[in-house]
């Protein structure tokens, strides 16, 4: 089928009736078909007869004009006209019998177009829907989504035999499947496509391949000792930034100009989907100043010296805007670079550690010492204290101190 994507306004809440202005083109021997008034037949400059679509429809108080030319057959033109109109009505309750696949595509494309999601969120939604939701529900009508059936599906995902030898998907994956599917259905409710979210409250199977998010103070101190012995200056600098609660992407996005004698300024991130970096943090509060000790400042200074040496050795320029964390070729390291550093420590430590674990550790060890817990939240870049408290995993030592204090 010839032709491209329709140009139309999906939805406008304004009660004012108006029409999009589309410049009109001149067609030779243009004739409207009696069998389908939406389709016109015309001649090209080479006397070839082709077809075009031109019609108007009012959707949510807005007159939308649908137009596309260059179809070789009237059947192709009619198919495009049907699809264009259905796409225009999908997100406002006008379309009937909307499938999960149809609504997902319109919903996803709209959010990408308006820039509502970060690139990583966009990739995450696409992966979850393509791998877990659409294979099961693509052709199911939104109105037919069933609470009991979806609960059964989550239970199946928790126990299915996988190709890598593992049994079931992780609890975090199951939670993503539920949350993202539920978010789409909530959007459908707002647009009056369905009236209720039947999967709003589900029982997510727990304990499935969950990563450890707790570490004892002794193990934490031992990890630091090993890191200071095993890691290069650049690797150690990245490791120390994790001890201050910086996110994985924030560490990779740290630039030379953002490091000071007594603090680092977090404003740039580098992720899997945005390897070149972006000045867009996870939340507005994630753009923040994080105090550092003199020891950390010296470690970061050594890291920056090594980073510059690697860059110059590979004939790469190095300036204030350059990223500190680079690979041996002198280019910004990929997203898995830090995981490889932590894996070396984990092997020697005999305990699995990873960047986000140290973010939890910071919250856990800092909260008991803080006069104001909001200070800890600000360092972590959290919007509220509830999130910070959720990062506090508690420690065995802390429990013993409580019992000792209570003298029971």
Residue-wise pLDDT for 285-296, tens only, equals: 889 999 999 999
What is the per-residue pLDDT for 344? 95
Checking if the pLDDT of 23 tops 60, the result is no
Count of residues in the chain: 408
Do 2 and 51 touch, CB atoms closer than 8 A? no
> How many CA atoms are closer than 13 Å to the CA of 20, on its beta-carbon side?
17
0.85 exceeded by pTM: no
Q: How far apart are the C-alpha atoms of 68 and 42, rounded to whole Å?
A: 13
Give the architecture (CATH level 2) of 100-190.
Answer: Orthogonal Bundle (1.10)
Delimit the domains of the chain by residue range.
18-89, 100-190, 217-398
- DSSP-derived secondary structure for 328-386: TTSSBPPTTHHHHHHHHHHHHHTS---HHHHHHHHHHHHGGG-SSHHHHHHHHT-SSHH
Do 359 and 245 touch, CB atoms closer than 8 A? yes
Residue-wise pLDDT for 56-106, tens only, equals: 988 766 788 999 999 999 999 999 998 888 878 877 777 778 999 999 999
Mean predicted confidence (pLDDT) in 252-275? 94
What is the per-residue pLDDT for 7? 38
* Region of 271 on the Ramachandran plot (φ > 0 left; ψ -120 to 50 alpha; else beta): beta
What is the per-residue pLDDT for 3? 43
Whose tokens are 């939406």? That residue is: 38
What is the per-residue pLDDT for 25? 53
Q: How far apart are the C-alpha atoms of 115 and 340, rounded to whole Å?
A: 32
What is the per-residue pLDDT for 404? 54
Query: Taking all residues of the chain, what is their mean pLDDT, rounded to a whole number?
Result: 86
Q: How far apart are the C-alpha atoms of 291 and 226, rounded to whole Å?
A: 24
Residue-wise pLDDT for 347-398, tens only, equals: 999 999 999 999 999 989 888 888 898 999 999 998 888 888 888 776 666 6
Alpha-carbon Rg for the chain in angstroms: 28
Superfamily for domain range 217-398: Intergrase catalytic core (1.10.443.10)
Q: How far apart are the C-alpha atoms of 336 and 345, rounded to whole Å?
A: 15
| Least confident interval from 2-16, 241-255, 258-272 | 2-16
What is the per-residue pLDDT for 212? 75
What is the per-residue pLDDT for 284? 77
Checking if the pLDDT of 141 tops 80, the result is yes
For residue 368, the tally of other CB atoms under 10 A from its CB is: 13
Residue-wise pLDDT for 241-257, tens only, equals: 999 999 999 999 999 99
Residue-wise pLDDT for 296-334, tens only, equals: 999 999 999 999 999 999 999 999 999 999 999 999 999
Checking if the pLDDT of 133 tops 60, the result is yes
| Least confident interval from 7-16, 26-35, 187-196 | 7-16
What pairing do the DSSP bridges indicate for beta strands 18-19 and 62-71?
parallel
What is the per-residue pLDDT for 398? 60
């Amino acid at each position: 089928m010839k032709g491209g994507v329709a140009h139309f306004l999906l939805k406008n809440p304004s009660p004012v009736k108006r029409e999009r202005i589309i410049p009109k083109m001149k067609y030779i021997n243009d004739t409207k078909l009696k069998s389908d008034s939406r389709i016109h037949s015309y001649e090209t400059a080479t006397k070839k007869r082709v077809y075009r679509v031109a019609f108007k429809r009012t959707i949510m108080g807005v007159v939308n004009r649908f137009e596309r030319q260059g179809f070789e057959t009237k059947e192709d033109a009619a198919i495009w006209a049907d699809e264009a109109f259905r796409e225009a009505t999908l997100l406002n309750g006008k379309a009937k019998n909307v499938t999960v696949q149809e609504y997902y595509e319109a919903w996803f494309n709209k959010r990408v177009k308006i820039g509502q999601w970060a690139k990583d969120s966009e990739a995450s939604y696409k992966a979850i829907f393509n791998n877990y939701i659409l294979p099961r529900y693509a052709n199911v009508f939104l109105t037919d989504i069933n609470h009991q059936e979806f609960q059964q599906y989550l239970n199946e995902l928790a126990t299915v035999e996988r190709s890598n030898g593992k049994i079931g998907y992780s609890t975090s994956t199951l939670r993503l499947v539920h949350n993202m599917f539920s978010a789409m259905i909530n959007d459908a409710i707002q647009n009056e496509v369905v009236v209720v979210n039947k999967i709003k409250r589900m029982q997510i199977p727990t304990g499935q391949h969950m990563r450890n998010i707790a570490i004892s103070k002794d193990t934490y101190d031992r990890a630091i000792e090993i890191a200071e012995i095993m890691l290069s200056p650049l690797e150690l600098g990245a490791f120390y930034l994790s001890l201050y609660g910086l996110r994985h992407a924030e560490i990779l996005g740290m630039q030379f100009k953002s490091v000071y004698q007594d603090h680092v300024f977090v404003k740039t991130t580098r992720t899997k989907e945005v390897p070149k970096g972006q000045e867009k943090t996870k939340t507005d509060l994630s753009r923040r100043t994080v105090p550092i000790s003199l020891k950390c400042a010296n470690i970061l200074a050594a890291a920056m010296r090594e980073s510059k040496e690697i860059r110059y050795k590979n004939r790469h320029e190095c300036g204030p805007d350059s990223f500190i964390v680079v690979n041996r070729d002198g280019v910004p390291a990929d997203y898995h670079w830090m995981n490889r550093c932590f894996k070396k420590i984990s092997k020697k430590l005999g305990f699995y550690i990873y960047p986000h674990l140290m973010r939890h550790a910071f919250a856990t060890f800092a909260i008991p010492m803080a006069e104001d817990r909001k200070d800890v939240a600000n360092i972590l870049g959290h919007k509220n204290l509830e999130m910070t408290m959720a990062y506090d995993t508690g420690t065995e030592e802390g429990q013993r101190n409580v019992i000792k204090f209570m003298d029971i």
